[in-house]
Structure 1
């Protein structure tokens, strides 16, 4: 009897220990599964903000301090905001940036939650030699709390006003190039980034004019609010010294102007920027039209002299002309970037294809000036050929 009792007691102890070990290991696995994806996500993609909208603008980047490497400190920071169906053209935009730029790039992508995995999948699939030059961070949308975030989000186009709050969100970034998603770079980003060095002591943002011709420009004819200069400015390609912006009355002024003029503005955040720089013109640097070349520059007659002479540097397909048939030259250029595969020859693949497709648009308004769409790409390729030739003959590049 005593042996039986000892056997039962021993068996109970063994079962108890086995059950305890099982649950202890299970809890450890659960803990690891919760922690590791967060760590991996921070290492590979940067830190995301905690709220999609309505959150208090916060130091998103500050949590990410260990990632501050050479690329972050000395690279080119490029930002966009993607909502709705803009994810595919956004990736083509990023593709155009990395194709012509040798300096390390840091992408800051603000996107709706359902679009974020698309960006990760696309960029992570890029060839290794390109990925080593690219660091990217994806953030949720974030608008000031207590300021009717849905009003800000839906101001003009969905999420477009996010750009106004980037200085207070990326407080660990000193300078940034913000662009709309319907942009293509036709020239290395080093060249537009160099405008930061041309700012005087008061300038903190660079924009291009809304138009070159006052009689055709929207602002002198229709605006019911103050605007910058004679023609106003376009906000699609916006180079920013974020450090100076944070030291200015930027955010509070924009909120104030929104409350004062929200019933009179048509183009949302762009109108607010025009109002701001009407009152603070000394803070704005104006770069030429070829750095923000739009259909307005060629749809009636060619009015961008820099584009005529040197070609467009940055192509801005606003009003969705990259996707419809209203300006076939813009669509042909966009489609050429879509079809181009990383690793394919720029000269004999992209440039030849682009010229061939532009030839088909010569009967259209903007298609009459095909060199505007390919001249800078051709110039970049020529510079690569010169470099290769010097190397092959033992010369210094």
Structure 2
């Protein structure tokens, strides 16, 4: 990583202004406010700038890294970028608000590739989003912690210090798809009690069942770290010196037992401070393991559908879960601005064809799996009078 890159400023791109050369066009602040959290300002080369945005507009954090680590294969960056674009496409297609994405990267290449991909979006959709690129950052003296898991995964633990100009954000893995407006998730912040600093969905797998699980965990089945709602102001005021310090203490105590990197650390912390976590419904982080065990471990989705589908374990691209891959491929090929009703019809028809074929996975066999994957979109279209009830 070059010195110039390590020292780069936080560059903000209004996507409507991106040009083919991907040059830097603007450097400005765009901040959100949650009741009881306060306002933010930033210093930049133009002086102090303050911007007011709608407090209802969602703010997301993504992490994309090339990474170089001895003994561990590099993450296929092309797949990460593709997944990021498809995830943002699903969110932008369904939202009625403006979306802001903080994207933590470890190279200029990723930044430029994302901006190039964005050039193909219609102007109306580019108008809905702002991209804010930030270089990776780690606290000093945490080398052993940093080397846990895949490249950059531990970065999630440091977001409260990396993004100091925001009071609340939602971290989301790149291999996710929104099946309902992302603002429905953002609005959950208003359900937090005064002590709750974060929201995560139950893991429903691994914790309490796997021999590899040796660390304390939250609740009955632990938490999955693929989606984390963060009240950053409260995280900075977390008991014992702030949230990062709480994570450090958890790592120091259980370092020899940690199997799932930052996810284990988060489970340890919230097992110690359960009142500080708001437990999201499993519909907001529906993963292959919810349907791989011969039953739907998130049963409410069999009726109401999954709100966010998380294709971890490469389920969107590996061919191991045809139903989930069809969902991803349909979003990937969807032309923004074209009929969402036709998209829904094509999706449901394609999912049905898989059932007529030779799909033998547990997820394919799951009763109502098509409802799990499509009902939230159906409800959205019905509420818009774009589909008959």
- TM bracket (short chain): 0.7 to 0.9
- Structure 2 distance, partners of 1:38, 1:226, is 39
Q: 1:68 to 1:97 in 2, by over 3 A?
A: farther
Residue 259, structure 1, aligned to residue 252, structure 2: yes
User: Does structure 1 retain, via aligned residues, the 8 Å contact 2:12–2:28?
Assistant: no
The separation in 2 between residues aligned to 1:153 and 1:97, in whole angstroms, is 30
Query: Which ranges in structure 1 are unaligned for 5 or more consecutive residues?
Result: 1-36, 48-58, 390-397
- Give 1:365 deviation, angstroms: 2.4
Offset, 1:378? 1.3
Correspondence 1:305 to 2:299: yes
- Tell me how far apart the structure 2 counterparts of residues 121 and 61 of structure 1 sit (CA, whole Å): 28
User: 1:232 is matched with which residue?
Assistant: 222
1:123 CA drift (Å): 2.5
Q: CA deviation at 1:41?
A: 2.4
Select which of 55, 63, 68 maps to 1:81: 63
Q: Are 2:207 and 1:218 equivalent residues in the alignment?
A: yes
Q: Which residues of 2 match residues 160-179 of structure 1 at below 5 A?
A: 160-179=153-172
SS of 2:266's equivalent? helix
Report the alpha carbon displacement of residue 69 of structure 1 after superposing the two structures with TM.
Answer: 3.3
Match of residue 328 from structure 2: 334
Residue 372 of structure 1 corresponds to: 372
For the pair 1:119 / 2:114, whether they are aligned, the reply is yes
Q: TM-score, normalised by structure 2?
A: 0.79
TM-score under structure 1 normalisation?
A: 0.78
Deviations 1:195-248 (A, max 9, x none): 11111111110111110xxxx643354321211122111111111111111111
Once the two structures are TM-superposed, the CA of residue 147 in structure 1 deviates from its matched residue by 2.2
**Count of aligned pairs between the two proteins:** 334
Give the drift of 1:188: 0.3
Distance, in Å, in 1 between the alignment partners of 2:273 and 2:279 is 13
- Corresponding residue for 1:277? 270
Q: In structure 2, what is the equivalent of residue 104 of structure 1?
A: 98
Shift of 1:190: 1.2
Structure with the higher helix share, 1 or 2: 1
Please tell me the root mean square deviation across aligned C-alpha atoms, in Å: 2.6
- Measure the CA separation in 2 of the matches of 1:278 and 1:370: 35
Range with bigger deviation, 358-367 or 326-335: 358-367
Matches within 5 A, 1:9-48: 41=24, 43=26
**Equivalent pair of 1:143/1:152 in contact (CA under 8 Å):** no
Larger CA Rg, structure 1 vs 2? 1
User: Using a 3 Å threshold, how does the CA distance of structure 1 residues 333 and 103 change in structure 2: closer, same or farther?
Assistant: same
Contact 1:60 1:171 in 2 (8 A): no
Structure 2 regions of 5+ residues with no counterpart? Answer: 1-10, 14-22, 31-39, 66-74
- Would the aligned equivalents of 1:46 and 1:138 in 2 still touch at CA under 8 Å? no
